[in-house]
Structure 1
């Protein structure tokens, strides 16, 4: 069974920010708030039945409003990651987007989707977050109507469906920016390094020093990006400054539905997370630009201190900066068309006897 409850998490601009919590019989639970459609908590049992919160974040609304520069748990839009130089051309018309980082447009700009309160409604055990992004917001053309549906199923799967339509040709590439650490949100790099990671990805998007794509897709074979068989994160990223913060291209199996993208497994706890999506790439990020161990950490839930490599993002999405690379899958949304994206995060445990089961 799945149980869904709701309560007020706080207020902003005289609007209630709602918190929705799904629970299953296994002890699994997920909490999301209407501000930014942020996943605020994700409680997952381990192989011994102990429950830990496995996403990074904050305990209170004020912290999300004032301190969430790392995009903890939120929906990113209209376009995730970089749009080079904050400039796009559609049908010969130049649109100048907000340049909010290093001369580029990043994660939707200053008033992005994870920085606003969404309307929300309950449909059975689903919650639909809705928002009208008006023509010209952050420089984007067109009134964009967005609906994002969250659902937790009784097998401990978190399901996301994104839909959007626009009154003008525009660009769109949405994702969720949750930071996962299956050892527990407070366990830091020590916990993260013990994860085994598999990615169903055979190419990586080559980027410049400012993380803007060159347009080339490079084979992963013989490189640290070859995660087609399980690799221990600590063996790859320890003492390596720039791993990972890259767009990995999914190996397609011809299935028009959901493809297997990734498995993340934490042997000490037995927890694993499988990711399925209809998107062509993963942005895999390991919090490289969090404070170092010599610096003051970001104070998160329960007073935890988040530092470099405290968590990982597995962001299902289209290729970054696709508007500037005709060989990449298109991110243009036309009036009359509907943008759709589906992703599932499936959680479970490997028991002492090796049996794989939902959490």
Structure 2
């Protein structure tokens, strides 16, 4: 029980620290200072360890992967249309790092930063970083990310921030779940949602909602593979979609174990991927499912999507919760 700290590697001549929090059940989470990354989520069942999330065992793979595995994404997750926005009639132009649009906080986003870090209790670690107007955002933004593991096998991830200028803040954890050794297609997914976002060809929300029907209907448990089969009938082969959620957002499970996801915001992006094997990914053979809890993407352009404006000298905190359950 408690927290251990080791050096995981080095970036820009700075050490990258890896913390491991272990509870009384021998459940553990590992998180590292680079990108405040959730590196592992491991449980012990009948004396055997099982990892519940996609992870790498070396820093180099985290740096080079385009999949942002386990990283803190921000200051704004998702896409911003045309890489522009307004706050109080002031216009801001960011870099266009995905076509004409802006993706995941830009090329200097939180996912590329080595955070300062410290243990704050025997079950929690805090990561801190300050960004100063990179990629076109206004203002200095001080960000804290706290990971906590309870003895009830609950992982809390809390994102806090304050700023000296009105700006945007909508971070997420780009965690990929794989709760069993079987192919992800055999795992079951439930999403407590009756609508998801319509997007254009650039994956930018149109502002319209679509009903969760057919391949998008996960109101009852359904294997991810069945959903992908239904998608293929629409000539689509991957999930990269945003569901409108509230509270208990979703559950992913195998025959042996489940993880329940909770959020105090209104969106969850799911994304099928295979970060470790590009050839399999090209054949739509997926190893994991990203489940990203956040405010709905491009909310700055859609008033009904939620408020991601962080006002000067105000503080905000968002919390996502992930609960592991062993199934009988």
Give TM-score scaled by structure 1 length.
0.85
Alignment match, 2:251: 263
Instruction: Give, in angstroms, the shift of residue 200 of structure 1.
Output: 1.0
Correspondence for 1:109 among 106, 111, 128: 106
Instruction: Give, in angstroms, the shift of residue 52 of structure 1.
Output: 2.1
Alignment match, 1:333: 310
Alignment match, 1:287: 273
Alignment match, 2:26: 27
Do the aligned residues in 2 keep the contact of 1:78 with 1:113 (CA within 8 Å)?
yes
Instruction: Give, in angstroms, the shift of residue 196 of structure 1.
Output: 1.2
CA distance in 2, matches of 1:339, 1:283: 22
Alignment match, 1:163: 160
CA distance in 2, matches of 1:105, 1:260: 29
Alignment match, 2:223: 232
Instruction: Give, in angstroms, the shift of residue 14 of structure 1.
Output: 2.4
Unpaired runs of 5+ in structure 1? Answer: 253-258, 298-306, 352-359
**Equivalent residue runs for 1:101-180 within 5 Å:** 101-124=98-121, 125-134=123-132, 136-180=133-177
Instruction: Give, in angstroms, the shift of residue 26 of structure 1.
Output: 2.7
Alignment match, 1:62: 60
> Residue by residue, what CA displacement relative to the aligned partner does 1:41-100 show, whole Å, maximum 9, x if unpaired?
221235x443122222322122222x1211000000011010111111222222111211
SS in 2 for 1:224: helix
Correspondence for 1:248 among 239, 243, 251: 243
The number of equivalent residue pairs is 322
Correspondence for 1:348 among 312, 316, 325: 325
Alignment match, 2:83: 86
SS in 1 for 2:273: coil
SS in 2 for 1:323: helix
Instruction: Give, in angstroms, the shift of residue 18 of structure 1.
Output: 0.8
SS in 2 for 1:312: strand
SS in 2 for 1:206: strand
SS in 1 for 2:162: strand
Do the aligned residues in 2 keep the contact of 1:244 with 1:288 (CA within 8 Å)?
no
> Residue by residue, what CA displacement relative to the aligned partner does 1:322-354 show, whole Å, maximum 9, x if unpaired?
111122211111112222101110002112xxx
Rate the CA distance shift 1:180–1:146 in 2: closer, same or farther, 3 A: same
Rate the CA distance shift 1:243–1:18 in 2: closer, same or farther, 3 A: same
CA distance in 1, matches of 2:188, 2:325: 14
Do the aligned residues in 1 keep the contact of 2:70 with 2:176 (CA within 8 Å)?
yes
> Residue by residue, what CA displacement relative to the aligned partner does 1:19-55 show, whole Å, maximum 9, x if unpaired?
1001223332211100001112221235x44312222
Instruction: Give, in angstroms, the shift of residue 292 of structure 1.
Output: 4.2
Do the aligned residues in 1 keep the contact of 2:42 with 2:50 (CA within 8 Å)?
yes
Give TM-score scaled by structure 2 length.
0.93
> Residue by residue, what CA displacement relative to the aligned partner does 1:253-273 show, whole Å, maximum 9, x if unpaired?
xxxxxx211111111xx1100
2:6 maps to 1:7: yes
Unpaired runs of 5+ in structure 2? Answer: none
